[in-house]
Amino acid sequence: MKKILSSLVIVLVLVINLQAQKYFSKTGEISFHSSTPIEDIEAISNSASTVFDLESGKIQWSVLIKSFEFEKALMQEHFNENYMESSKYPKGFFKGMIKDHENIDLTKDGSYTAQVNGTLEIHGKSKQIENTAIFMVENGLISATCDFKIFVADFDIEIPSVVKQNIAKELEIKIKTNYELLDKS
């Protein structure tokens, strides 16, 4: 009976510990870049939210589409109004898993490369993606970066023929953030 009791206590402690294994950021940086011979278009958001759980390997992101800032105000308006329809689809999401998350030791300084796969949801359309992310620990500070590409057409984003030459079919996306320990108290 004592054994059961102690093992239960261990489970309880583990559960509490598990919750302490989560890291978050509310200032995640997401930028995208469209490059064509005619025009380069770039936008950046500095207010993406993200949480990852090292124990289970789960990682999630969300970003307000309206938080993307462009160099040209009119581009930003068209991005929200015509392409992303941000009042209908206010957020973009990623929900996925870090493969081999056991290999990441956040207590030790270093750079850890990990495959991340999951579902990217933009403009109400979902797509499975898999990319390489880098988790870095430096003096106890945890950061992560990930660069990948997506096709605009995969997310049902319509580009009218007049501006087809100006907007790339494939966008480069760069993600960068510092993570903090998620304190449950």
Partner 1 sequence: MNFLINLKSKWMCILLICFTIPMCTFAQGEEDDLLALLGEQEVTDYTYATFKANRIINLHSVENTAKGVLDIKISHRFGFINGGLYELFGLDQASIRIGADYGINDRLMVGFGRSSFEKTYDGFAKVKLLRQSKGVKTMPITASILASTAIKTVEFQDPDRENYFSSRLYYVFQGLIGRKFNESLSLQISPTIVHRNLVKTISESNDVYCIAAGGRIKLNKRTSFNAEYIYVLPDQLAPGFRNSLSIGFDIETGGHVFQLHFSNSTSMIEKGFITETIGNWFDGDIHFGFNVSRVFTVN
Q: Could you list the residues that contact partner 1 (CB under 8 A)?
A: 1-2, 4-5, 8-9, 11-12, 15-16, 18-19, 22, 24, 26, 47, 49-53, 56, 58-62, 64, 66-67, 71-74, 77-78, 80-82, 87-88, 90, 158, 160, 162-163, 166, 182, 184
Contact 175, 131 (CB under 8 A): no
| Nearest to partner 1 of 108, 183 (CB atom) | 183
Contact 66, 83 (CB under 8 A): no
| Nearest to partner 1 of 84, 171 (CB atom) | 84
User: C-beta of 136: minimal distance to partner 1 in Å?
Assistant: 21
Task: From 17, 13, 14, 19, select the one nearest 182 (Cα to Cα).
Answer: 19
| Nearest to partner 1 of 66, 176 (CB atom) | 66
User: C-beta of 18: minimal distance to partner 1 in Å?
Assistant: 6
| Nearest to partner 1 of 33, 95 (CB atom) | 95
Tokens at 47, concatenated: 């207010």
User: C-beta of 175: minimal distance to partner 1 in Å?
Assistant: 15
User: C-beta of 128: minimal distance to partner 1 in Å?
Assistant: 18
Tokens at 64, concatenated: 């307000």
Contact 18, 28 (CB under 8 A): no
| CA dihedral of residues 134, 174, 28, 49 (deg, nearest 10) | -100
User: C-beta of 109: minimal distance to partner 1 in Å?
Assistant: 25
Cα–Cα distance measured from residue 73 to residue 140, given in angstroms and rounded to the nearest whole number: 39
Sign of CA dihedral 109, 60, 30, 170: positive
